[in-house]
Amino acid sequence: MKRREFLTAAAALSAGTWAQATERARVTPEKWSRLVIVGGAEDRVQDRVILRKFIEYAGGPLARIRLITAASGVPEVVAQSYSAVFSDLGAQNFAVLPLNSREEAMNPQLSADIMQADGIFMSGGDQSRLMQTVFDTPVMEAMHKAFHFNHCCIGGTSAGAAVMSRHMIAQGAAVLRPRKDIVETDIGLGFLPAAVVDQHFSERRRLPRLLSTLAGRPDLLGVGIDEDTALVVERARAIEVFGKGTVTLVDMGQAQTNAGDVAEEAQIEMLGVQLHTLPAGHRYSAVRNVPQNWPAGLRRAIEQLVKPGPVYL
């Protein structure tokens, strides 16, 4: 199937046309388009802070929450685990979407279910497997419509976090220092158009891998998310971090690198890289009239994360 381009929707947003796109479209102070991006290994046994927060952002116990297990090699096992957790946390309208092949991704009923969802959560596994299943299908289109038009909360853990960005890390070795062309990338879902996400970040010591990725795409903001930690992105408003770890932002916007001059897999010189570590329990607003004594680089990074992306149609 031919890959269609992502279409910029900023003009449509400013013109107010999104509100008419679906009869369920609504904007209230409590319901914003949010991404809940989890670094993997979220607690499903004890306090379960991240999944509780996801239910809250989806709309509470009555929210229509749907699970996508297409990234997993054992989808039935993953589905059973999350079904038990969400039930235990009081989610009364939870269901696992039958989405494990491209054929299933063409099912109109599946797209209709996604369009009616208040929260969609993507499990871990292999991000390439997930994208092979949903890319350029009605399901992917429905997910974008649900997020942009209906303010559905989109969450994902591990592989489900990696696919959030347009430029996606598909795989890459755990190197000790940045090297050229050691990371394989592909196209993700595109909810974060100007960033690239890496997960299990501190636990698997992936800063060199993220730096290696950014050496080839310095226009992107690097986002590293620790395990049992979530980065919440409220479109056009703010970001926040909750869970147990830290979110690391890596900004190459004003850096210099010799990546274009060295051989494949050679070590890379990287000068002027900006790095921010955001611990759990902190919220960062992108609203400029809020008094904040933050470095200009951090403000620029936040604005890069929250800016509205293109809509896949």
pLDDT category of residue 30 using cuts at 50, 70 and 90: low
Read off the CATH number of the domain in which 234 is found: 3.40.50.880
- Percent of the chain predicted with pLDDT > 90: 85
pLDDT digits (tens, 9 = 90+) for 255-288: 999 999 999 999 999 999 999 999 999 999 998 7
Q: Is 104 part of a structural domain of the chain? A: yes
Q: Is 3 part of a structural domain of the chain? A: no
146-174: average pLDDT: 96
Report which of 233, 152, 243, 133 is spatially closest to residue 193, judged by C-alpha positions: 233
Does the annotation mark 111 as catalytic?
no
- Lookup: tokens for 95: 């269901």
4-9 — which CB contacts under 8 Å span 24+ positions?
4/136, 4/312, 6/166, 6/190, 6/193, 6/309, 6/310, 6/311, 6/312, 7/310, 7/311, 7/312, 7/313, 8/310, 8/311, 9/148, 9/308, 9/310, 9/311
Which residues have C-beta within 8 Å of that of residue 258, sequence separation ≥ 6? 268, 269
Q: Which of 151, 167, 200, 276 is an active site residue? A: 200
First to last CA, the chain: 15
d(CA 59, CA 254): 40
Which residues have C-beta within 8 Å of that of residue 121, sequence separation ≥ 6? 36, 54, 65, 66, 67, 68, 82, 155, 156, 157, 160
Does the annotation mark 104 as catalytic?
no
Q: Is 231 part of a structural domain of the chain? A: yes
Q: Identity (one letter) of the amino acid at 157?
A: T
Q: Is 13 part of a structural domain of the chain? A: no
Residue 44 sits in which domain range? 33-305
d(CA 132, CA 273): 33
Q: Is 15 part of a structural domain of the chain? A: no
Residue 10 has a pLDDT of 35
DSSP type of residue 20: G
pLDDT digits (tens, 9 = 90+) for 94-153: 999 999 999 999 999 999 999 999 999 999 999 999 999 999 999 999 999 999 999 999
Does the annotation mark 200 as catalytic?
yes
Q: Is 193 part of a structural domain of the chain? A: yes
Q: Which of 111, 158, 212, 285 is an active site residue? A: 158
DSSP type of residue 3: P
**pTM, two decimal places:** 0.90
Q: Is 73 part of a structural domain of the chain? A: yes
Report how far Cα 216 is from the mean position of its chain's Cα atoms: 21
Q: Identity (one letter) of the amino acid at 184?
A: E
Q: Which of 148, 165, 167, 227 is an active site residue? A: 227
Q: Is 24 part of a structural domain of the chain? A: no
Task: Name the domain count of the chain.
Answer: 1
Which residues have C-beta within 8 Å of that of residue 287, sequence separation ≥ 6? 237, 238
d(CA 80, CA 275): 39
* H or E stretch covering 64: strand 64-68
